[in-house]
Amino acid sequence: MISASNKFRRPSLFWLVILVPPALIALIVAAYASEVPFMDEWDVAPLLFALRNGSLQFAHLWLNHNEHRMLFPRALIVSLMALLGKWSIRAEVFTTVMIAIAQLFIFWRIARATVPARFILPLTLIASALIFHPLGSYNWLMGLQIAWFLALTCAIAAIAAIFARPGRWHGVVIATVAAVIGTYSMSAGLAIWPVGLMGLIALRRKGLGSRKQIALWCVAGIGAIGVFLATYPTSTESSSLVANLMRPLQVAFFVVEFLGGPFRIIYDGSYSAIIGAIGVLLALALAIRLARSRRRIGLLPTAILPWVMIVFFSALVAGMIGVTRSHMENAAHVAHYVALSGLFWIGIAGAHMALSGLPTADGDTIQTTSVQPAHLAVAVITIALTIGYLRSWNQGLTHIQLLSGQLRAFELSMLSNVKPVPEDLVVNIIYPVYGRPIQYSAQLRKLDEGFFWHGRDEAAVLSRVISAATSSKPATRQILYQGYIGAVSCERIDGWAWDRNDPDPITVSVLVDGVPTGTLVANVYRADLVNAGIGDGSHGFSGNLPEHAWDGNEHTIALTFEQTNEMLIGSPRKIQCPAK
């Protein structure tokens, strides 16, 4: 017999476990989120400039971003700027975390209304783990990802509102508002309209809802989509879109690979596709279970509908992305897509759990105890997915640490006024067009904004160090090292290093997992160093990765200046090379 105190403690303990993923993501954001924009985040800078000079207009918020209309996310970001009095990317990322927490709350509410009591907390835990997944590294480092989470959360909110009180007008109105916000957050929000229409029609067939509600939804959807597309510029990738439509198998493989995202442990399309195929098989198994139970529970019971809509929404958006992106290499592995593919798995789990709790015509719940092989298959799949998730979690954290270090390298270069900033660092990590971040950084410096505002104390320290190093007053020479790691691969390690007060070449130490394994002499001539004012240009270095690092395991490679523990910018790096 279970005591009352034990009944209380067990759910409380479960809730503590459920809150672990968001708590860990909050800690990761606090530790690694940077004030340095990267990739699409640089497109937020013009909003700041317009806000500061008083020229901000609705057109700035309405302007398309690729295929998206980010009206509401931009309005939210501008509101944060006005509230804080400065541009803070970290504040944007923490806002994203709060939106994700709201999404988790909505999932919990749907679970309470649709699945048996014994499944509510386990399903909420699954949702928590997939929503707060570090493999979606961009989501927890880029403030503009507010748009992505806002669109997805609005989709879940719209579905929840439709089914919270089926047939009630206020639910349809709330769902309509959520759909509009989602539409003008990311183009993924466009998928809310057909999915919502499917749900309203299904409810109408069950005697819940009215034609007027369906008409309202259709009018609002046509209006929202029409305004979205009005004066929308013709896509420069229209030819690729047509070509992708002519390759349905390529798009289908992209979607399956896409859906396997939350559990991938390597950047291998075939592996992700296998995981995604398991998800598709689970969806087919759901359809079979529904077909077998149709006479007893009817077609698509109300408790199943929200979860089926979530699965349909995620698969539809994955298809939309596949049509526009399937021709791009590794496009299905883009980090922030994990937030969407996770919804697919939450929907699949929720639908199966909800179906297990539905009563039959005799008043009993649907039983599946006789299908013991199916139980064994579910157990094997669950264990495999759990292992994949845990390993992908570690991979995501490593990626976040790497990105954070690279953003830090750019920040230090800008704060110390190193000119020019290494081109490979900017183009490969910060933004694909070298000039934009350099130009915008100069404007941020003038406005004392962004990472210049947050790093002003550090900039002052760097300025004093540099001025002291270049001053003629000290009687003894002061060492002032500068250096940057360019590439760290299984084939080579390269970069540059020098002492600003001594033109002679210096050496750098190579450390593998913290253990010194050799040195490299920085005496290779590079024309780009001459152009950057790095001495006579003979300060580059290049060498091979130590042999013992070729063992198939992941290693941390760090480079330090000679006889010091001071690391070069961009160090350390993670690398994994196959065993020889």
How confident is the model over 418-435, as pLDDT tens digits?
Answer: 566 667 667 777 777 777
* Burial (0-12, 13-18, 19+ Cβ within 10 Å), 196: buried
pLDDT at 469: 45
pLDDT-based confidence at 80, cuts 50/70/90? very high
Q: What is the pLDDT of residue 106?
A: 95
Tokens of 546: 């130590």
Average pLDDT over residues 367-379: 56
What is the average pLDDT across 307-317? 94
Q: Are 321 and 336 in contact (CB under 8 A)?
A: no
- Nearest Cα residue to 197 out of 303, 105, 112, 312: 312
SS3 577: coil
Sorting pLDDT into bands at 50, 70 and 90, what band is 233?
A: low
Of residues 552 and 461, the one with the higher pLDDT is 552
Q: What angle do CA 280, 339, 22 make, to 5 degrees?
A: 125
The pLDDT score that the predictor gives to residue 472 is: 42
Distance of alpha carbon 285 from alpha carbon 438, whole angstroms: 53
Cis peptide, bond prior to residue 21, ω within 30 of zero: no
Mean pLDDT of 441-445: 84
Confirm if 423 and 430 have CB atoms less than 8 A apart.
Answer: no
CA distance 142 to 96: 9
Q: How far is CA 394 from the centre of its chain?
A: 15
pLDDT tier at 289, thresholds 50, 70, 90:
confident
pLDDT grade for 363, boundaries at 50, 70 and 90: very low
579 vs 428: CA distance, rounded Å? 27
The pLDDT of residue 372: 52
* Residue 521 vs residues 504, 539, 562: alpha-carbon distances, Å: 11, 8, 10
Residues written for the chain: 580
Residue 476 has pLDDT above 70, yes or no: no
Answer positive or negative: Cα dihedral of 130, 100, 152, 65. negative
Identify which of 338, 276, 310 has the alpha carbon closest to the alpha carbon of residue 132.
Answer: 338
Listing DSSP states for 154-204 in one string gives: HHHHHHHHHHHSTT-HHHHHHHHHHHHHHHTT-GGGGGHHHHHHHHHHHHH
Provide the pLDDT for residue 468: 46
Q: Which of 398, 391, 125 is nearest to 275 (CA)?
A: 391
Mean pLDDT of 6-32: 81
What mean pLDDT do residues 108-123 have? Answer: 91
For 348, what's the count of Cα atoms within 13 Å in the CB-facing half-sphere? 22
207-211, 253-257, 344-348: lowest mean pLDDT where?
207-211
Those residues whose C-beta lies under 8 Å from the C-beta of residue 294, and which sit 6 or more positions away, are: none
pLDDT at 278 over 90: no
- Where does the pLDDT of residue 103 fall: very low under 50, low under 70, confident under 90, or very high at 90 and above? very high
The model's confidence at residue 232, banded by pLDDT at 50, 70 and 90, is low
pTM value? 0.76
Q: Does 473 score more than 80 pLDDT?
A: no
- For residues 140-163, average pLDDT: 93
Reduced DSSP (H G I as helix, E B as strand, rest coil) percent helix, strand, coil of the chain, to 5? 65, 10, 25
Query: Residue 313: is its pLDDT beyond 80?
Result: yes
